[in-house]
Amino acid sequence: MTGPKQPYYITTPIYYVNDKPHIGHAYTSLSCDVLARFKRLDGYDVMFLTGTDEHGQKVDQSAAARGIDPQTFTDQISQNFRDLAAHMNYSNDDFIRTTENRHKKACQALWKTLLDRDEIYLGSYDGWYSVRDEAFYGEKELIVKDGVKLAPTGAPVEWVSEPSYFFRLSAWADRLLKFYDDNPDFIAPSSRRNEVLSFVKGGLRDLSVSRTSFKWGVPVPGDEDHVMYVWLDALTNYLTAVGYPDADPEKLATYWPADLHMVGKDILRFHAVYWPAFLMAADIAPPKRVFAHGWWTNEGQKISKSLGNVIDPYDLTARYGLDQTRYFLLREVPFGNDGDFAHQSMVNRMNSELANDYGNLCQRVLSMIGKNCDGKVPAHGDFTDADMTILNKAYGLLDVVRGQFDAQAFNRAIDAIWALIGDANRYVDEMAPWGLKKTDPTRMETVLYVLAEIIRHAGILTQPLMPDSSAKILDQLSLGEGDRGFACLGPDHALVSGTELPKPSGVFPRYVEPEGEGETA
C-alpha cells in the first residue's frame, strides 16, 4: 500500500494586465506546465498556479485612457491570459486574479501580521517613481538621456512626495544573506544568484509598501487612505491560492512553502529579496526555489512594440503547430539564458528532430509491425547484447531526465531523450529488420519488439513537452490511460506480445514553406 503523494507547488508570475499576452508570457507558463506535467506523471500531487496582477497606477491610467472603469478593464485583459493558457494546453490547477475577494483577504491578513510584528511603520515617501515599472528608484540608479531622468529600464520617472507605509527591509540584509547561504539552491541559475547577493550586500533601504495618490489597489486595513504597493499585493497571490490565511488550512499545510516560483529575470529582485523578507518577517517559510529565466529576441533584434516585432504565441501555433512550438521554445536555448527566435531554426528543428528523427522512427517501425507482424505487438526471442544495451538505456532514462527537470535544465532533458531516439534510428539501420523477414523472421520480430519498447519509453517521457503528439504515439501502441505514467517505465510494464495495434499514422509532418512566403518570421 502506498502512502499519500508528495506535494509539489509550482507558480508562474502573475501577469500584469496592461497588454495582450506575448511570447514571454507563453514561455514562462510553458516551462511551468511542462514541469507540472512531469511531476504528475512521476507520482506527485501537483498544484500549478498562474493568474493576473490587476492593481496599481498603471492599470488605473490604462483604464482611464480607454474610458472604462478599472474592474471592467481588468476583466477584459485577464481573460486574454486565461484564453492563452487554454490555447497553449497548460494544465494549471488554478487561475488567480488579484481583484478577487480571497486575495484581498489574504493581503490584509499578511499586512496585519507585519504591522503587529512592527515590521511596517508609517512615514512619508519622497523620491523617484516609475509608473511603468511600478517601482521606486534611488537618485544613483537613474540614467540621464537628453537631459531627462529615466529609470534604469529607460522608463519615465516622476518625483513623488506622499505619506507611505514602509517595510523595514533594511533590517533584513544579514538574515537574507544567511538564508541564501543556508539554501544555496534558492536562487537559480547561479549567475542570477550572484546578482541578488551583490544587491543585498550593497545595502537595503526600507521599502515603501503603500500609496495614497490613487485608489486602485487593496485598501490598507485600518487606514483606507492608503492602498497596498503593488508588489506586496502581487506576491501574496502565491499564498492566497493555497488557502492563506484560514480559507483552507489543510491546503496551506500541504503545499506551502512553494517548491518553485518561475519568473523572468526582470522581476527576480522582488521574488528573491522582498518576498522572502516579507515572509520571514511574518514567520512564514520562504519558497524553496526561485528560477529566473532569460528573454527572447526575434531574429536577433530586441522585441519591442515600437519595432513591431512582438511575437504572438497564437501566430506561432497557427504557423508551426502547438506541440512543435512547445518543443522549440524549451529545446532551442539552455533554460535560464536569453534566446533568439528565428524562423529557420524553428523549421530546422521541426524537420530534422521531430519529423526525421522521432516521427520517422515511429512511422517506419510501426508500419513494419503492421505489415510483417499482423498488426500486433511482435513476439520476441532472447535479447542480444545489442538489444539489452539500448533497452537498458531506455529503462534508465527516467533517472537522467528527472535530474535535469529538477534543475530546470529542460534542453538537457530533451537532449537525453533525443540521444535515445538517435540510438534507436541507428539500431534500425544496423539490424535492418526488413532484410530479416526472409532470413530470420524470429529475429526480425525481436528487433521490432525492442524498437516498439523504445518508442513506448520515448512516448511516455515526451508527454510533458508535447502532450497531444505523445498521446497519438502511445495510442498507436494501444497503451491505456493507466499505462502512461512514469511508474510504467521499465521492463515490468513492457509491451505484451500479441496486443492488437491500430493502423499507424504520421504524427510530425515536415514543415513546407507556404507559397510566396520568405524566410523571416
Contact 36, 255 (CB under 8 A): no
**CA distance linking residue 488 with residue 484, whole number of Å:** 6
Tell me the residue type at 481: E
3-state secondary structure 356-395: HHHHHHHHHHHHHHHHHCCCECCCCCCCCHHHHHHHHHHH
The residue written with cell numbers 517521457 in the block is 461
Helix axes 322-331, 313-320, angle to 10 degrees: 110
Residue 2's pLDDT is what?
Answer: 60
Residue 363, C-beta contacts closer than 8 angstroms, at least 6 positions apart: 504, 506, 507
Tell me the residue type at 19: D
Smallest CA-to-CA distance from 18 within 68, 62, 55, 70 is with 62
**CA distance linking residue 176 with residue 415, whole number of Å:** 36
Query: Which residues are registered as beta bridge partners of 500?
Result: 376
**Which residues of the chain, if any, have pLDDT below 50?**
1, 518-521
Residue 174 is classified by DSSP as: H
Burial 459-482 (b: 16+ CB within 10 A, else e): bbbbbbbbbebbbbbbebbebeee
**CA distance linking residue 368 with residue 391, whole number of Å:** 19
Please count the residues of the chain: 521
Smallest CA-to-CA distance from 136 within 164, 109, 110 is with 164
CA 113 to mean position of chain CA atoms: 31
pTM: 0.93
Residue 132's pLDDT is what?
Answer: 85
**CA distance linking residue 387 with residue 338, whole number of Å:** 40
Neighbouring C-beta atoms of residue 134, cutoff 10 Å: 22
Residue 134's pLDDT is what?
Answer: 78
Pairing relationship of beta strands 187-188 and 290-293 according to DSSP bridges = parallel
Tell me the residue type at 74: T
Q: 116: buried, middle or exposed (CB in 10 Å: 19+, 13-18, 0-12)?
A: exposed
Cell numbers linked to 211:
500609496
Q: 305: buried, middle or exposed (CB in 10 Å: 19+, 13-18, 0-12)?
A: exposed
Pairing relationship of beta strands 207-208 and 210-211 according to DSSP bridges = unpaired
Residue 516's pLDDT is what?
Answer: 59
**Mind listing the pLDDT tens digit for each residue in 160-172?**
888 999 999 999 9
Cα dist. 240→279, 284, 306 in Å?
13, 13, 37
Give all domains of the chain, ordered by start, each with its CATH number. Answer: 343-493 (1.10.730.10)
Residue 140's pLDDT is what?
Answer: 86
**CA distance linking residue 98 with residue 101, whole number of Å:** 8
Cell numbers linked to 105:
483577504
Contact 467, 89 (CB under 8 A): yes
Residue 520's pLDDT is what?
Answer: 39
Residue 513's pLDDT is what?
Answer: 87
Helix axes 313-320, 70-87, angle to 10 degrees: 20
Contact 243, 284 (CB under 8 A): no
CA 454 to mean position of chain CA atoms: 28
Residue 18's pLDDT is what?
Answer: 73
Smallest CA-to-CA distance from 328 within 303, 345, 352, 309 is with 345
- CA end-to-end span of the chain: 53
